[in-house]
Chain A
Amino acid sequence: MIDTETTTSGLDRRAFLGRSLGLNGGALLDTGTPPQATSTMAQSTSKDLLLYVFMRGAADGLNIVVPHAEADYYTARSTLALAQPGKGNGSVLDLDGFFGFHPALVPFKRLYDAKLLAPVQACGSPDPTHSHFDGMDYMERGMPGDKRLATGWLGRHLQLTAGSNDSPLRAVGMGGLLQTSLRGTNNAVAMSSIAAFHLGKGSDGQVLQAALRELYGGDGMLNGVAQQTFSVLETIDQRLKPDYQPAHGANYPKSPFGRSLQELAQLAKSDQGMEVACADIGGWDTHAAQGGAEGHMATLLADLSQGLEAFVTDLQDRADHVTIAVMSEFGRRVKENASRGTDHGHGNCAFVIGGGVQGGKVYSQWPGLHAEQLYGPGDLQVTTDFRDVLAEIVGRRLGNTHLDQVFPAYTPRALNLIRS
């Protein structure tokens, strides 16, 4: 039992790693060796690296952080409900006697037990939209119900704290379309893959770059992004070692999400000043056949949790300086529909992971699932604004005190899920 460990994050982390390494098999020579945290910590900046993961499509939070002690949950979901803890195959992994994880979240349960992971339930945006596009847009811009501000919350954070770090890799969004949350800073990098940031070996690449620099040398609309592209090309060419091997037996899933995370870990460990990273995992719009303990959503949850556990494991040497937040635009309807799926809802779960997290506890003002407790057409209420979660990370882990500018017109409530 993890309870016998001390409560400092270092020991918890060690306990976690001991476990996960054991589970990953015996191939590792250093099983049981304490992580070399202190030597590398001195080299790190005082700010955390923040990874913001977006589950695109509105993940069904009620089947992720399951209120297994609620009878109404089982009434509303005759085919999709996950069995109570200990009630056979596919039952939920109990957390606190009331909530439990979907059985595919075994890696998250390990992080939770190591007190590195905090689930937040009945979290989300106060805006009632059921539109994916608007829901993501409001959340990523940190401005629910307000379309006036074009910048993203991470973009504003980066602008407010610009100055000390002029690294071309300060903010990286994995994928070909830059995440809306990163809008508003002029140096966020969209990256499909590290390998694609390459124009040719050695002097070939330099010659082509010289020609491209001339072509893009004027004052056109593409000049800024082109200069940024040149900087990233140079940094990757000169500073990144090829043939990256994950550390400590980190085992990334062979999925686009797993690959994104592995590349972000590689960038983080190259110490090129990456402060903020974004990664996406899609496929959560489960109107039909979403599956229960197995099936479509279980596969996604395995990918999500294995990927993030690998990321934490890979970066364990700097675990005290990595924070991860996981969110989705909104949750899904409490009652399942006739196609063994769920329609768009409201309140949802979120996750915060990292050495600075007071994990091992579910953070929730649980609103209940009785008919009179539901929101709109039959949705879980939002009792924790997503900005409360993010603001605490920004304020306590990223060293930014201008919360009123990161989340304008909003006064965040302290959740104390982040150590102060």
Chain B
Amino acid sequence: MALSRRTFLKGSAALLAAVGLPAWAVAELHAHGKPTVLAQQLFSRIGLVPSDPVVHVLNRTSFGPTTAEVARVRQMGMDAYLEEQLHPEAIDDSAVDRQLAQFTTISMSSADLLAQGQEQAQQIVSELRQATMLRALASRRQLQEVLVDFWSNHFNVFIGKDQCRFLKPVDDRETIRPHILGSFRDLLGASAKSPAMLTFLDNRQNRKQAPNENYARELMELHTLSVDGGYTEADVEAVARCFTGWTVKDGTFYFAPNQHDRTAKTVLGTTIPAGGGIEDGERVLDLLAQHPHAAQFITTKLCRRFVADQPPQSLVDHVAEVFQSTGGDLRQVTAAILHSPEFTASSGQKFRRPFEYIVAAARALGVQTPAEPLLQQCALLDQAIFGAQSPPGYPDVAPAWMNTAGLVGRWRYALALAGGKLKDTPVDLGPLVQGATSPQDRAQRLVAALLPGYSETPLPTQLAKLFAAPKLSPQQLKQRTAVAAGLLMAAPIFQWR
């Protein structure tokens, strides 16, 4: 029985207290004037997202720029930064690793996880989600975390289905993470044998007497060829038969020879001779991983994530060529995208999905722990981590997320976060405005910190007013800084990356 979304949201309804504004601001701001033209242009136009290449690269290869990270990348240079991020194994991430040590279930074997029993299921799910959130927030291997998010979504496993609650930590650790910059065929093979995937798409119950087509269909439609990838219903049936007997035993992959259909099959025009065993499925994975449609589909999706909702076909063709010529080497594929002129020219074209938005705001404010309140915000904005119930995962294009529910949810989050009103999530804006010489200077520093690349631009009228009163007590100044920070992160430009 699938976990309901309600279960995920449990307790989060009360989380967001009404976003309060102190009485001081009310009278002052009610008599508002017309916004300046500059402010309008600055805060509402997608085209004005900074062309600063460092900010752009950090927008795309991380969960959001921070002041420190912008400075570091300027110092080391962009090529060196990309080279660093493309080799995450060489980056020291011990600070985050130490934090993750508290989550004992993320390193357990599937047998140990299953032995925990149903009463621990919520804890197991929660720990994996918290670990994912902490890594997105604080890992120095930011590109790795972006890629983990991408590939977890591509090979989506809904964590609420049956034993997936126990098996997803192993899928995350052993299927996704080791392969995101490796060979696509290895990743595909690991996914095909992942107990979590075998559970989510029911292949563990795919037996020769009456095959279960679920995995076979999604393997072609979603994992490799795409829905228009040229396969037929007969191919779906044949692929399902090739994977009969691929199942799970004691929480690990197991090939059950007596459940395998040993008759001959024809897949995409290739004959798979009778008498085969586990190699039938391996042969299908080979065929699919090498298929030109897979190269197009995978690279289109990667370009969609890193460049634009509708990436230029020239770029996709180039990257697909790299995919094909390197045998699906994902490090080279990813590098080809990040080093392309199309990537460089695409600043500000991607609408942050809820997970990206929530983490970007938290990173900008220097929020560290705990992860739980941020996870609840993801669920409220309909992007619970590992919570996509349907096989395609979450959409990666702006129109899917750009609606009234999304906007109002983002505004509430930004204002609550900056105001220190998110449960258990204290925020210290002091460091962002340290050394300010006047209230106005304070506001400008806030802009510089939260919207790198805009430090020279005048504040919108409404925000400027927050700091315009002749005499502000330290407490007033603090409150107004929080409101201004919330509004800056609620602004249109913060929605784009």
Q: Which residues of A contact B (CB under 8 A)?
A: 56-57, 128-134, 175-178, 183, 189-193, 195-201, 203-208, 210-212, 214-223, 225-226, 228-229, 232-233, 254-256, 259, 282-283, 285, 287-288, 296, 299, 335-339, 341, 343-344, 376-377
**Known A134-B227, A178-B403, A204-B26; contact A218-B40, beta-carbon cutoff 8 A:** yes
Q: Spot the interface stretch: B12-20, B174-182, B318-326.
A: B12-20
Does B65 touch A at the CB level, under 8 Å?
Answer: no
Q: Report whether B212 and A337 are in contact in the complex, using a CB–CB cutoff of 8 Å.
A: yes
Residues B214 and A287 in contact, CB atoms below 8 Å apart: yes
A287 to B212, CA, bound (A): 7
Query: Smallest distance from the beta carbon of A99 to chain B beta carbons, Å?
Result: 26
Known A56-B390, A192-B382; contact A218-B41, beta-carbon cutoff 8 A: yes
Q: How large is the interface on B (under 10, 10 to 19, 20 to 34, 35 or more residues)?
A: 35 or more
Show the binding face of B for A, using Cβ within 8 Å. Answer: 1-2, 4-6, 13, 18-21, 25-26, 29-30, 32, 35, 39-41, 43-46, 201-202, 205-207, 209-214, 217, 221, 227, 233, 236-237, 354, 380-383, 389-392, 395, 398-409, 411-412, 415, 460-463, 483, 487, 490-492, 495
In the complex, what's the smallest C-beta–C-beta distance from B42 to chain A, in angstroms? 8
Q: Which one of A132, A220, A287 lies within 8 Å of B202 (CB-CB)? A: A287
Across the two chains, which residue of chain B brings its CB closest to A340? B205
Main SS at interface, chain B = helix
Contact indicator B19/A190 (Cβ below 8 Å): no
User: Knowing A207-B30, A343-B212 touch, does A220 contact B403 (C-beta < 8 A)?
Assistant: no
Q: How far is the CA of A155 from the CA of B242 in the complex (A)?
A: 43
Name the CB-closest residue of A to B6: A256
Choose among A176, A193, A203, A254 the residue with the greatest number of B CB atoms under 10 Å from its CB. Answer: A176
A207 x B25 contact (CB < 8 A): yes
- Is the beta-carbon distance between B405 and A256 smaller than 8 angstroms? no
Contact of B382 among A177, A216, A229 (CB under 8 A): A177
Shortest 10 CB-CB contacts between residues of A and residues of B? A176-B382, A218-B44, A339-B205, A190-B403, A204-B21, A211-B462, A220-B44, A190-B405, A338-B210, A218-B40
| Residues of chain B lying within 8 A (CB to CB) of residue A214 | 32, 35, 39-40, 43, 460-462
A/B interface sample: 10 pairs, CB < 8 A: A175-B382, A204-B18, A214-B32, A215-B491, A222-B407, A226-B492, A288-B205, A341-B205, A377-B233, A377-B237
Tell me, in angstroms, the Cα distance from A57 to B354 when the chains sit together. 24
Are B404 and A225 interface neighbours, CB within 8 A?
Answer: yes
Interface majority SS on A: helix, strand, loop or mixed?
loop
Contact B408 A199 (CB under 8 A): yes
User: Are B4 and A337 interface neighbours, CB within 8 A?
Assistant: no
Among A190, A207, A283, contact of B404 (Cβ-Cβ < 8 Å): A190
Q: Inside 8 A of B415's CB, which chain A residues have their CB? A: 199, 208
Given contacts A215-B460, A220-B45, contact A229 B35 (CB under 8 A): no
CB pair A190–B487 under 8 Å, yes or no, is no
Known: A176-B406, A343-B214. Is A285-B390 also a contact (CB below 8 A)?
yes
The listed residue (B44, B46, B211, B354) touching A215 by CB distance below 8 A is B44
| A215 and B487 within 8 A (CB) | yes
Please, which residues of chain B bring their CB within 8 A of the CB of A228?
404
Q: How far is the CA of A125 from the CA of B389 in the complex (A)?
A: 23
- In contact, A207 and B29 (Cβ under 8 angstroms): yes
CB distance from B47 to the nearest CB of A (A): 8
> Are B44 and A339 touching (Cβ within 8 A)?
no
Rounded to whole Å, the gap between the CB of A285 and the closest CB of chain B is: 7
With beta carbons under 8 angstroms apart, the residue of A131, A217, A256 that contacts B44 is A217
CB pair A176 B45 closer than 8 Å: no
Are B20 and A204 in contact, CB atoms less than 8 angstroms apart?
yes
**Cα–Cα, bound, A216→B46 (Å):** 11
Bound form: Cα–Cα A10–B39 in Å: 58
**How far apart sit A208 and B495, CA to CA, in the bound complex (Å)?**
18
Q: A206 to B31, alpha carbons, bound, how many Å?
A: 12
Instruction: Indicate which residue in A129, A216, A220, A344 contacts B213 across the interface (CB closer than 8 Å).
Output: A344
In Å, the complex CA distance between A132 and B44 comes to 36
User: How far apart sit A254 and B211, CA to CA, in the bound complex (Å)?
Assistant: 36
Question: Which of B13, B29, B44, B401 has most chain A Cβ within 10 Å?
Answer: B44
Residue in A196, A221, A344 whose beta carbon sits within 8 Å of that of B412 in the complex = A196
* Chain B CB within 10 A, most for which of A128, A191, A214: A214
Inter-chain contact A336/B404, CB cutoff 8 Å: no
